[in-house]
């Protein structure tokens, strides 16, 4: 029996031979808390992104989750969606996390997207690096489209003619993911998909 990472109540586990043999994965949050997150199940296609899959919508529970995970730096919360991400992403394609600007990375002390993957025990490769520190949220759509490339290929890395999966925490306008996909495709990727934990309403 473990405590829910969000509300700290005990998670009642049904005694079973699977649990005894530790074949059943421990859940990080209780059922009451997991019900508060609203499924998105959004899959769509884009010119640059061959497929985008988002798991949840941005609701009150998710807003609180992100606040505690990213801003209050509660790294343990990376495990809340670990089982789900693992189920969705385990397999062959190379997972490429959307990188943070190094200065922001130091400020935050950890990279939330990397932590989601580590917690899900999924291997990943950093192929991209940030070119600048521009915050997308403060710009108009025209400014966002005119902006210089947000990412470049990380020196010393190479892209194969195969499928890559970009991972980001939240999809808002899609600009970030499209910039990242452009870099990978120009470097030779045949297919670039994206998975985000959250899809925010536009
Ligand atoms: Zn709970």
- At residue 23, the pLDDT reads 55
Q: How many helices (H) and strands (E) does the chain have?
A: 8, 9
Bridge partners of 199, per DSSP, are 57, 171
**Directed axis angle between helix 82-89 and helix 112-119, to 10°?**
80
- At residue 115, the pLDDT reads 96
Distance 11 CA to ligand 1 centre (A): 8
Condensed to tens digits (0 to 9), the pLDDT of residues 84-103 reads 999 999 888 999 999 988 77
- At residue 183, the pLDDT reads 96
Number of Cβ within a 10 Å radius of residue 147: 15
Distance 114 CA to ligand 1 centre (A): 24
> Hey, what CATH topology would domain 37-199 get?
Rossmann fold (3.40.50)
Distance, CA of 169 to CA of 127 (rounded, Å): 17
User: What distance, in Å, lies between the first and last C-alpha atoms of the chain?
Assistant: 40
Q: What is the dihedral of CA 118, 171, 130, 192, to 10 degrees?
A: 80
| Runs of H (alpha helix) within the chain | 17-20, 31-36, 60-66, 82-89, 102-108, 112-119, 141-146, 175-186
- At residue 123, the pLDDT reads 96
CA distances from 27 to 81, 195, 196, 201 (A): 9, 21, 20, 28
Q: State CA 147 to chain mean position distance.
A: 23
Q: What is the pLDDT along the chain (202 residues), one digit of tens a residue?
A: 689 999 989 887 666 666 666 555 678 999 999 999 998 877 666 678 999 999 999 999 999 999 999 988 899 999 999 999 999 998 889 999 999 887 777 777 889 999 999 999 999 999 999 987 555 556 666 665 566 889 999 999 999 999 999 999 999 889 999 999 999 999 999 999 999 999 997 6
Distance, CA of 149 to CA of 179 (rounded, Å): 6
Distance 170 CA to ligand 1 centre (A): 22
Q: Is the pTM of this model over 0.85?
A: no
**DSSP for 18-51?**
HHHTT-SPPPSS-HHHHHHSPEEEEEE--SS-SE
Distance 33 CA to ligand 1 centre (A): 4
Domain boundaries, the chain: 1-36, 37-199
Distance 35 CA to ligand 1 centre (A): 9
Residues in the chain: 202
The answer to whether the beta carbons of residues 94 and 126 sit under 8 Å apart is no
Distance 78 CA to ligand 1 centre (A): 15
- At residue 35, the pLDDT reads 92
- At residue 145, the pLDDT reads 57
Condensed to tens digits (0 to 9), the pLDDT of residues 142-177 reads 665 566 889 999 999 999 999 999 999 999 889 999
């Amino acid at each position: 029996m473990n405590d829910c990472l969000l509300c700290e109540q005990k998670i009642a586990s049904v005694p079973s031979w699977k649990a005894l043999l530790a074949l059943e994965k421990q859940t990080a949050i209780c059922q009451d808390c997991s019900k508060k997150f609203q499924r998105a199940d959004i899959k769509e296609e884009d010119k640059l992104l061959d497929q985008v899959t988002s798991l949840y919508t941005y609701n009150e529970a998710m807003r609180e989750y992100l606040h505690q995970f990213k801003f209050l730096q509660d790294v343990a919360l990376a495990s809340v969606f670990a089982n789900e991400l693992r189920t969705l992403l385990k397999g062959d394609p190379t997972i490429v996390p959307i990188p943070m600007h190094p200065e922001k990375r130091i400020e935050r002390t950890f990279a939330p997207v990397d932590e989601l993957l580590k917690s899900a025990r999924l291997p990943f490769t950093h192929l991209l690096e940030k070119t600048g520190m521009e915050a997308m949220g403060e710009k108009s759509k025209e400014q966002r489209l005119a902006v210089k490339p947000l990412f470049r290929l990380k020196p010393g890395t190479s892209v194969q003619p195969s499928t890559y999966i970009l991972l980001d925490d939240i999809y808002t306008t899609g600009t970030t993911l499209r910039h990242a996909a452009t870099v990978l495709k120009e470097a030779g990727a045949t297919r670039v998909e994206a998975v985000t934990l959250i899809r925010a309403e536009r």
